[in-house]
Chains A and B, each alone.
Chain A
C-alpha cells in the first residue's frame, strides 16, 4: 500500500536538496515527490508518496520534521483525502483509428489538447488507477511519449495541515514540529 505525506516547507534554495538527501541517506524509497507553491508566499508544499511495505511512513515523517526548513508534515492516511495525478500521453492516431481513440477519451473524461497529422496529445487527471487503466487501453494504438506529474493530494474537509488554511496566521498554534 502507498502512503501519502504532505509537507509544508520554506521556499528557500537547497530545501529540495535537503529533503532528497534525507531520503537517500536514510534509504527511504520514494514512489513520487512533487513540489509546488502554496497560497502563502515563501512556503512550498511537497507531496511525497512512499510504499509502506518498504519504507516506514512514521520514520519518514519524524525525519522530515527534523529538517529545520520543514514547517509541518501530515500523513494523509489518517483522514480521507483527494489524490490526483496528471498525465499527458502522446499517442499514434492515424485518421482511420482517430474516432476510436476519441471515444475512449470521452469514457475516461480525458481531454485532447493537441492534434497533429498522425498523433494526439491527451491530458488526463485522476487517481493513479484511473490513469493506469487509461494508459493500458491506449497502449495498442502506440504510445509515443508520456509524462506524469506524480501525486498531489489534499485532505477532505477542513484543513489538516496547520498554517495552511490561508488566513495568513503563520504562527498559529500547532504548526512546527507538533503532532508527535
Chain B
C-alpha cells in the first residue's frame, strides 16, 4: 500500500494495540497530527508536554500496556524530559514520539531544533532518530518491544518532518519476529543457583521478603503469596511495591524504609535472610549502607544484572523475570514454620500503635492521616490512588491500605512533584471503570494544575484530594527537624482551590473538619466529572516515623506522644 511516514506512525501504533495517546502539536509534528484524523486512536490534548509524559506513565502503570506521548520538536520535546526521567527511574514502559526538523537541517540550528536524542540519552532505555522513512516501521516496532520487555522503560523516537511527509509506494506492515542482536531481555537463573538459594531459605531463622515494583511489573503477585505462605516469611514492601501483596494479609508487614513503620525496619535489621524481590536497595530503603541488615544473608531476585551488588553486596543473585524465577524456585522449596520469628516481629510493634495519630483522641484538628484513613474506608479500599510527592505521598502510602495490585501509583525514584494529576488522568484512560483518586499537596498540585483543563475538556472523572497544609510540607518538615525550624521558601500562599475548580466548570469542595470528610468523599464520587476536594489539614504536622537521611535504619524519629497532649 501507499503510505506516508505520518500514516506509518499511526499504522504501527494501531498494530501495537494503542487506543489512546497523550500529546501536543507543533510545526515539526504537524504531518503526523494531520494523518491522525484518519485513524481510530483517541488523542488527549494536554496543556503541557510534561503532562503528556506523566499521563502515558500513569496509563502504563495501572494497565501494564505501553503508554504513548507525542510532542513537537524543540520546546515540545524538552518539556517531555521530566516525565521521561520519571518513567526511567521507575521502569515504566512509555514510548515518546517527537517531531524533528527536516533531516537536511539537522545540525544547523534550525528553528525549534533541539538534540532530543542527545538530551534524553541517559534518561531513556533507548532512543532513535529517524531520518529515513524506510526505517520507520522497524524502529517503532523495536521501540515498543524495548519499552515493554526486560526491565521496562521509556523509549523516545525522534522523527524528522520530511520522514513524516515522505511517501512509500509499497509499504507493508512487517510482522516478522523482532531480531535484535544486542538485546536479549530473557534471562533466567541457573538451576544450581536456585538450589543454593533454596538451601539458604531453608536454613534461615529470621527471613524477610523485600517486595518491590518488580513483583507488579512481572505480575508475580500469586507466586509471591504462595512463596510467602509456604515459607511463612513476612513481607515488607517498598513504596513502589505497595499493592503487590495484600495489606490485609497476616504476613504483610507494610512499607519499609525512611517512612516505614519502625518494627518493619527493625525486622529487617534483625533478619538473617533478606529475599529482595524486584527491588533495588534504594537509599530511601536502606538508610546507611554500612549498618544495613548486617546479620542477613541476601538473595537478590532481579531482572537487571547491573542492579546486583550495586548498593548492597548479595550472597546470591537470581537474574530473570521474577514471576518465572519464583515459579522455578517453588519446586525446590519446602514448607517452613517461622512462628517464633513472626511473634517476635509482633512484639516489636510495641507502643507504635499508641503513637499512631489515628489512635490519639480527637482534638478537633484535621490531620492528613485522618483524611487518608477515612478515604480508604469510604472508598472501601478499592480506589486507584495516584499520589504526588512529599508528605501527602507518605501519608497516602501509610494510611490508604491496598489489597489489590496496580492501585497505588506514585513517583518513587525521581520524586517528581506535579506527577499525580496527569498520572491520574492517564490511569483513568487506561481503566475507565476505576475510581481514581489523585492525592496531591498544595505545592505539587500547582506544578501541573493546568491539566485540570485537560480533564475538563475530555469530560473524564478523576477525584483530586488536595492535602492543603499551606507549606511545601516535606521540606518544611526537614527544616523543622534538621534546620532549626528556619522556614526558608516553604510557606505557600495558595489560590482558592474551590474557585479554581469552578473556573473550570468543575466541582470544588472544601473540608476543614474530620466530620466533613465522609460527606465530601461521597459528594465527590457522585458528582459528575472531575472534582477537587481541598482538605485544609494541620499545617505543621510531620510524617512519622522517620529515618533521617543517611542514618541507621533502626534509628527512627517517632511521633512524640507528648506533643499531642500539649494541644
User: Does A21 sit at the interface, judged by CB under 8 A?
Assistant: yes
CB–CB A70/B118 < 8 A: no
Identity of the chain A residue whose Cβ is nearest the Cβ of B179 in the assembled complex: A171
Chain B proximity mask over A1-45: 1 for CB below 8 Å, otherwise 0 = 000000001100010011001100100000000000000000000
Least CB distance, B327 to chain A, in whole angstroms: 20
By beta carbon, the residue of chain B nearest A25 is B122
Task: State in angstroms the CA–CA spacing of A17 and B184 once bound together.
Answer: 22
CB atoms of A177 and B183 under 8 A apart: yes
Is B310 positioned at the interface, with any CB of A under 8 Å from its CB? Answer: yes
Q: Mark A44-72, 1 if CB is under 8 A from B, else 0.
A: 00000000000000110011011111110
A170 interfacial by beta-carbon distance below 8 Å:
yes
Max count, chain A CB within 10 A of own CB: residue among B118, B126, B180, B182: B182
B309 partner residues in chain A, CB cutoff 8 A: 58
Task: Check if A177 sits within 8 Å of B121, measured CB to CB.
Answer: no
Q: Does any Cβ of B come within 8 Å of A175's Cβ?
A: yes
CB-CB under 8 A from A171, the residues of chain B are: 179, 181
- Is there a chain A Cβ closer than 8 Å to B396's Cβ? no
The answer to whether B182 touches A68, judged by C-beta atoms less than 8 angstroms apart, is yes
Which residues, 313 to 348 on B, are CB-close (under 8 Å) to A? 319
Partner among A22, A63, A71, A180 whose Cβ is within 8 Å of the Cβ of B181: A71
List residues of A (120-135) whose CB comes within 8 Å of B's CBs.
none
**A-side interface residues, number (CB < 8 Å):** 27
Interface residues of A in 161-180 (CB under 8 A from B): 163, 170-171, 175-178, 180
Tell me how far the C-beta of B88 lies from the nearest C-beta in chain A, rounded to whole angstroms: 12
Whole-angstrom distance between the alpha carbons of A62 and B151 in the complex? 13
On whether the beta carbons of A68 and B184 are closer than 8 Å, the reply is: no
Nearest CB in chain B: distance from A38 CB, A: 13
Say which size band chain B's interface belongs to: 20 to 34
Q: Which residues of A contact B122 (CB under 8 A)?
A: 21-22, 25
Q: B305 within 8 Å of A by Cβ?
A: yes
> Which residue of chain B is the closest to A72 with respect to CB atoms?
B182
Within B95-137, the residues touching A (CB, 8 Å) are 117-118, 121-122, 125-126, 129
For residue A175, which residues in chain B have a CB less than 8 angstroms away from its CB?
Answer: 181
Q: Which of A58-96 contact B (CB under 8 A)?
A: 58-59, 62-63, 65-71
CB closest chain-B residue, reference A176: B184
Picked from B125, B126, B187, B310, the residue with its CB within 8 Å of the CB of A177 is: B187
User: Do the beta carbons of B121 and A62 come within 8 Å of each other?
Assistant: no
Q: Contact between B181 and A10 (Cβ–Cβ < 8 Å)?
A: yes
Partner of B319, one of A63, A67, A71, A180: A180
Q: Report the minimum CB–CB distance from A77 to chain B (whole Å).
A: 17
The 7 closest A-B pairs by CB, nearest first: A176-B184, A62-B306, A180-B305, A68-B126, A62-B305, A177-B184, A71-B182
Mark B residues whose CB is within 8 Å of A. 117-118, 121-122, 125-126, 129, 146, 179-185, 187, 304-306, 308-310, 319
Besides A68-B182, A180-B187, 19 new A-B residue pairs in contact (Cβ under 8 A), listed by A number? A10-B181, A14-B117, A14-B129, A21-B121, A58-B309, A59-B306, A62-B306, A62-B308, A66-B306, A67-B182, A68-B125, A68-B180, A70-B182, A71-B181, A171-B181, A175-B181, A177-B183, A177-B305, A180-B319
